[in-house]
Amino acid sequence: MIAHLGIVFTGAGDDWLRATMPVDARTKQPYGLLHGGASVVLAETLGSSAGNLCVDMSTQICVGLEINANHLRAATQGLVTGTARAVHVGRSTQVWDITIENPAGKRVCVSRLTLAVIARSDG
């Protein structure tokens, strides 16, 4: 889904991760606006990826427990930029705030993602 929607990771720090996503035919709803579901995909991609960078992925992984999103402003073209920031990084759960902005830096969507940290079981 990441490749299909054109999501590209663009930066990272100790407690944040950033990516962009184009507003185009893949991510727009029928009325020409950024689809709310696409915003949530970007938010969950950022939060889950950031969470997994905080654990030893040879023994643990992070999976989504809950996500919410508030769509604040329409986006109709260009790239939106999402930034995930850690709120809580614990042994069994993590919480991430994700802000998605348009090219002018105005908030399009704010989201909060709760992750469960679980034992890795390949197979």
pLDDT digits (tens, 9 = 90+) for 49-83: 999 999 999 999 999 999 999 999 999 999 999 99
Tokens read off for 107: 């908030």
DSSP 88-118: EE-SSEEEEEEEEE-TTS-EEEEEEEEEEEE
State percent of the chain over pLDDT 90.
97
pTM (2 d.p.): 0.96
Residue linked to tokens 């042994």? 91
Superfamily per CATH, domain 8-119 = Hotdog Thioesterase (3.10.129.10)
Residues with a catalytic annotation lie at: 44
Model confidence over 30-52: pLDDT tens digits? 999 999 999 999 999 999 999 99
- pLDDT for 122 equals 80
Domain ranges of the chain: 8-119
